[in-house]
Amino acid sequence: MPDTPNITTVDSHTAGHPTRVVTGGLPELQGETVADKMDDFAQHHDHLRTFLLHEPRGHAAMVGAVLTESTQADFGVFFLGSYNYLPMCGHATIGLAVTLDHLGLIQPKGRDSLQFNLEVPAGVISVRVRYENEQIISVGFKNVAAFMIAADLVFPDIPATFDLAYGGNWYALIEARSASVDLTPNGVRHAMDVGSFVKMAINAHIDAGDIPHMAERIHSVLFHQGSRVDGQFINRQLVVLAPNKFDRSPCGTGTSARLAQLIEAGEIQPGERIVSRNILDVDFMASATPVSDAGDCAKTHYDPVIEGLAHITGTHTFIGSQDDPLADGFLCN
């Protein structure tokens, strides 16, 4: 890699999962939409994704967010994963909002809340930031529509029944106990082993055309466990993305997919506000209502609203040099 100009970032974590917002140093990106700019970045500057997210500057679970201009919204952003590009990322949206406040790009000005629109590759979403004494106390966003596409699927090579749902990314949803997955920090290693195997197997069935109406591969496997405490539905979950990568947060897009599943199964009512809890016992609040203008879609679509909080962890200037033998970064599975 040639010498890289200084790339500046603001880092945060949302319920334990990192977001690295790129604030300067990137080349000008071409394209009319945020999706176009993401494609331009992927085609011509992908080495900067690995430079910023892989070791030694990052790790397998690091997520990046590239802030851009938008002709459709107040801000534009696309999301970088350690292995791929994400059409939408909920925890990073919350992290971005806190970063915009940190940079002074949004300001409460005496208000107890403010709202802005955000163009992401998956569409345009609205974000609401709530303040108390001009300090952020929560960030909520109305996600892209979520929906179920299949339920109670069984294949001999997959160790548990699963559902398929979309919440900005595609998920296989599996009841944790049915796959012998423990939703605690001590259960993560086993969950990643099972989840990565299941993901590979499901995608093989999708590629073979074994699942009707499912043309796209799943991004992740979501293990869940639901219960009611004093009338409140508590959704505990863990999202596995790769053999060495899981979502530390309750996962915004995963929670959106889970809301569609819960409503379709009759476990919660449309509009009911639930707790979505990660394995670290940090919560998102979430609800979803049917989309009123879904058109002729065969499946019911839902508008999810996810609310959480992020915290700034640092500001960085990353420097690359041509004589660095690991300039593009590395990952170990």
Instruction: Catalogue the active-site residues.
Output: 89, 251
Q: Which residue carries 């019911």 as its tokens?
A: 300
* Contact (CB, 8 A) for 184 and 277: no
* Contact (CB, 8 A) for 113 and 130: yes
Among residues 7, 18, 6, 8, the alpha carbon closest in space to that of 312 is found at: 18
